Amino acid sequence: KAGVTQTPRYLIKTRGQQVTLSCSPISGHRSVSWYQQTPGQGLQFLFEYFSETQRNKGNFPGRFSGRQFSNSRSEMNVSTLELGDSALYLCASSIRGGHTDTQYFGPGTRLTVL
Amino acid sequence: GNSVTQMEGPVTLSEEAFLTINCTYTATGYPSLFWYVQYPGEGLQLLLKATKADDKGSNKGFEATYRKETTSFHLEKGSVQVSDSAVYFCALTEANQAGTALIFGKGTTLSVSS
């Protein structure tokens, strides 16, 4: 079974631009979560989608948004980029998103904001 | 709120040494507990998990026991190898949330030399 895939793997943007990242979950997985990883703040939860609905949201500004499609693929968007948005963005999928479920992570998208 | 505290390291060991990475948690309900590992340039991989008190998770020689009385989930391995060099993250998910969010510790860098 193919793992979680994320595209693109690397991205360079300038301040003020917007960016869209894509995530394809493991086949059969209906829950997709997004995390931001930075050296200073570590791994932080952004949001979780299940059956095209945002079910849980972390403490990030409204510039960060996401969506999920009927095939469970998900995208996240960051508008008006700031230097501090430079990070590794990780997507994870699980079967149902239950608290005992294992979340399987993709390789991440490395975003650099100049 | 929920949180995870783990020793940040770096932890430097010689091959075949015994490894312990301490992890304690704060949670209001009944969390599931996880250890993830991240190799350079990669996403996170599940190492092991435990979903209820006194459960022991194990994988690839690593073990951790869910101790509710001490709110701990310490990672151990009897004999480390150079290939175990990586960053290790302790994490929890809360049972009473509407959705699922992994809450991570800051990560512990392990370096094993031959």
User: How far is C-alpha B11 from the chain's CA centre?
Assistant: 14
The yes-or-no verdict on residue B95 having pLDDT over 70 is no
Give the amino acid at A108: G
What is the structure's pLDDT at A100? 87
pLDDT tens, chain A, 114 aa long: 789 999 999 999 999 999 999 999 999 999 999 999 999 999 999 999 999 999 989 999 999 999 999 999 999 999 999 999 999 999 999 998 888 889 999 999 999 999
Closest Cβ opposite residue B100 in set A42, A44, A101: A101
| pLDDT average, residue stretch B7-35 | 93
What is the structure's pLDDT at B58? 97
CA angle A113/A75/A87 to nearest 5° reads 30
| pLDDT average, residue stretch B9-28 | 95
Of the candidates A2, A112, A16, the one whose C-alpha atom is nearest the C-alpha of residue A63 is A16
Q: Judging by beta carbons within 10 Å of its beta carbon (0-12, 13-18, 19+), is residue B98 exposed, middle or buried?
A: exposed
What is the structure's pLDDT at B100? 79
The yes-or-no verdict on residue B98 having pLDDT over 70 is no
CB B49 to CB A43 under 8 A? no
CB B107 to CB A42 under 8 A? yes
Chain A residues lying within 8 Å of B49, measured CB to CB = 102
The yes-or-no verdict on residue B20 having pLDDT over 80 is yes
Confirm or reject contact between A63 and chain B (CB < 8 A): no
Average pLDDT, chain B: 93
What is the structure's pLDDT at B96? 60
Q: Given the DSSP bridges, would you call strands B108-113 and B11-14 parallel, antiparallel or unpaired?
A: parallel
Closest Cβ opposite residue A99 in set B45, B100, B104: B100
The percent of residues above 90 in pLDDT, for chain B, comes to 82
CB B43 to CB A90 under 8 A? yes
Chain A residues lying within 8 Å of B44, measured CB to CB = 90, 92, 105
The yes-or-no verdict on residue B24 having pLDDT over 70 is yes
Tokens (6 digits) for A90: 């990780």
Chain B residues lying within 8 Å of A31, measured CB to CB = 99-100
